[in-house]
Amino acid sequence: MKPSHLALLAAVALTGSCSILPKSEPSDVYRLPSSQSSASVNHGTPQPWSLRLTKPQASQALNSPNIAVIPHGDLISSYKASRWSDPAPVLLRNRLLDGFQRDGRVSLLSTDDSNFQADLELGGNLQAFQTEYQGTAASVVVRLDALLVRGYDQRILASRRFEVRQPLNDVKVPAVVTGFGQASDQLTAQVVAWAVEQGQKAAPPPRP
């Protein structure tokens, strides 16, 4: 056998016995905590229009399972060995869906995971879903530029910025995750109230 062939076989055997690639570090996977809102079903007027919830647009840093943190300045990092069960836009969309279901006034609900048509669509831009430090004080920040859109022609009917800052007394990851749940609950309550109010003005009248 030629020396070059022997060298190739040796290289293959070495590659098979050990890897030069670094081993991936195991991660703790967190879901967004279940809603802790004590609000019962809203007994306001049921709405006849349908609503489709779409995942908000987000930057690459937020559109991932990483749990984002801004330790100082403009540096965006993430918590080591911890991640979300889904990217942040999916987590927030699902929390909003749960909020509308709990509220009860809009019962005809769907998401952009399906192809169902709806009278109105709720989406927007997720500008923040992260922990931010100011000195030694830390807060969870959730900021959504919400858009309410007419379904059949995609015309923007209403827009509004929502922002919640939830202070953290404990900066360990489990406590941070709890803070994200609390902030998401507050933002969801605000978005649901606004969307129902705007939908009452903008939705088409019920069919006879």
Q: What is the pLDDT of residues 135-150, one digit of tens each?
A: 999 999 999 999 999 9
Q: How confident is the model at residue 38 (pLDDT cuts 50, 70, 90)?
A: low
Residue 20: per-residue pLDDT: 52
What phi and psi, each to the nearest 5 degrees, are found at residue 28?
-85, 125
Position 97 pLDDT exceeds 70: yes
What phi and psi, each to the nearest 5 degrees, are found at residue 70?
-110, 95
131 Cβ contact list (under 8 Å, min separation 6): 67, 68, 69, 70, 138, 139, 140, 141, 168, 171, 176, 179
* pTM (2 d.p.): 0.84
Q: Which residue has the higher pLDDT, 27 or 148?
A: 148
Give me the mean pLDDT over the 59-86 stretch.
96
Identify the CATH homologous superfamily for domain 50-202: ABC-type transport auxiliary lipoprotein component (3.40.50.10610)
Residue 202: per-residue pLDDT: 82
Minimum mean pLDDT among 32-41, 49-58, 76-85: which range? Answer: 32-41
Q: How far apart are CA 65 and CA 87, in angstroms?
A: 4
DSSP letter at 61 equals T
User: How do the domains of the chain map onto residue ranges?
Assistant: 50-202
Residue 41: per-residue pLDDT: 55
